[in-house]
Amino acid sequence: MMKKIKRVVFMSTNHTDEQNAFEQFLIIMDDQLESLEEDAKKFGISLDLSVSSINKLELLFELMAENADKDTVDSLVVYFGRYLGEIVIHNYGGQWELPLDDPNNVNYNTPVITGHSQKGLEFAPLSVIRSFSLRRVENTLQRAIDADMKIRPLDLSNLIEE
């Protein structure tokens, strides 16, 4: 059974408190990654921070969230979000950051990955996992990563009036 995961709260009006919570988030990262890999083994799933672990992460989330209450699912979002973020860093580069500069930023005060994309994008793994937890649409995680890594220009030519 899954170990009880300490939830990190990122909402505060004091940037010092927010930064301290983020530092705690980072400090326990390695232990949480190892713990998730151990939990995965209990379900016969092998995780290794490779791109091939992305779809396995979805399957494992579904197995661990099955019949779970809201608080447990909320904890799983952070637990799995860490791992998804580390997959991005391990395979594409980048680092964890906590955006605190602009309160209008959709990722304000939420850990994100930056430096992984040539376009200067923020990848929000906790938000991606949250989205997956709500809809459970297969390949959500891979599509989210691809949206940052395989950017394609949007063709709006059919909207231009002649």
104: CATH: 1.20.120.1090
- Residue 13 near residue 111 (C-beta atoms within 8 A): no
In a domain, 1, yes or no: no
Query: What is the C-alpha separation between 123 and 39, in angstroms, rounded?
Result: 25
Q: What is the pLDDT of residue 14?
A: 64
Range of the domain at 107: 15-151
Give the containing element (helix H, strand E) for 96: strand 95-97
Q: What is the mean pLDDT of the chain?
A: 89
- This prediction's pTM: 0.84
Query: What is the C-alpha separation between 16 and 79, in angstroms, rounded?
Result: 23
Give the containing element (helix H, strand E) for 34: helix 29-42
Q: How many domains does the chain have?
A: 1
In a domain, 160, yes or no: no
In a domain, 2, yes or no: no
Q: Give pLDDT tens digits for 53-97.
A: 999 999 999 999 999 999 999 999 999 999 999 999 999 999 999
Query: What is the C-alpha separation between 68 and 72, in angstroms, rounded?
Result: 6
Residue ranges of the chain with pLDDT lower than 70? Answer: 1-14, 161-162
- Residue 141 near residue 125 (C-beta atoms within 8 A): no
What single DSSP character describes residue 161?
-
In a domain, 7, yes or no: no
Query: What is the C-alpha separation between 159 and 121, in angstroms, rounded?
Result: 27
In a domain, 132, yes or no: yes
